Amino acid sequence: MTQPQSPARLRWELGIVLALSFGASGVYAVVTIIERLTREAALSAQTATINRPLAESPVFDLIYQLLGFTFGLAPVALVVFLLWRDRRPHLGRLGLGTPTRPGGPRRGWWLRESGAGVALAALIGVPGLGFYLFARWIGINTTVVPTALDAFWWTVPVLVLQALRAALGEELIVVAYFFDRMRSLGVGPVATVIASALLRGSYHLYQGFGGFIGNVVMGLVFGWAYQRWGRSLPLIVAHWILDIVSFVGYPLAVALWPALFAG
């Protein structure tokens, strides 16, 4: 049996994991929003692009995109390694794997949890789009361009993979791992949910203050759901759906409503 880690060691571990992932992204995003505010152009006249070409050649662009997806999952692999259990469910501390009950394992759990994820996506997605448009209108957000990739045979699959990377990274690190370590450090559930939501909002500040506020609200909802259910799959599914719709649907939205979505 592994010995419990000291609070000091847990704090160092948490700091290192965040420094290798979304904590660093949050710092960069804070610097980015400060730099944006020093420009002559108003924040609402600026553009924030999420997925952009990485090479002029389509072949090398694809290679770079796949490398970014693969190595972008390294922090996820790290938290899986840190919270892996010797007994089943191996990923129970991350809210994954077959849940158990007194009578035995629950059947069809993945289908129920995926359905909950679809419901969460609908709950967040529609109001979130409305808030984004409102934030742009009042001038507190940039024009967010989910993708600037050229149209190749691999564009949609790559965008789906990038959406999966974001979903796995944010929900397993910013929620599941973060909640586990904060619990081990004796931090209460309310403070943990708020801290996780603020962290989620921080690394979206590069989009503007609307992106920060919207993602803090999303973080509060997702944190509440995880605190209540203790399950990560609904959050991953919801996040994946939201990003797929955003990434893949953006060109269509620009074509149909250029005044609303074009930069």
Domain regions of the chain by residue span: 8-95+110-261
Sign, Cα dihedral of 73, 78, 80, 81: positive
Collapsing DSSP states into helix, strand and coil, what is residue 129?
helix
R_g over Cα of the chain: 19
258/263 Cα distance (integer angstroms): 8
| Confidence (pLDDT) at 140 | 97
User: Average pLDDT by consecutive 10-residue portion of the chain (263 residues)?
Assistant: 80 98 98 98 96 97 98 98 94 91 70 96 95 95 95 96 98 98 97 98 98 98 97 98 96 83 73
Question: Is there a contact between 45 and 55 (Cβ–Cβ < 8 Å)?
Answer: no
Please give the angle made by the CA atoms of 162, 224 and 144, to the nearest 5 degrees: 35
Looking at the chain, the number of H-run helices and the number of E-run strands are 11, 4
Q: What is the SS3 assignment for 87?
A: coil
Look at residue 107 in the predicted model and tell me its pLDDT. 76
Q: What b/e sequence results for 73-111 when a residue is b if at least 16 CB atoms lie within 10 Å of its CB, and e otherwise? A: bebbebbbebbeeeeeeebbbbbbbebeeeeeeeeeeee
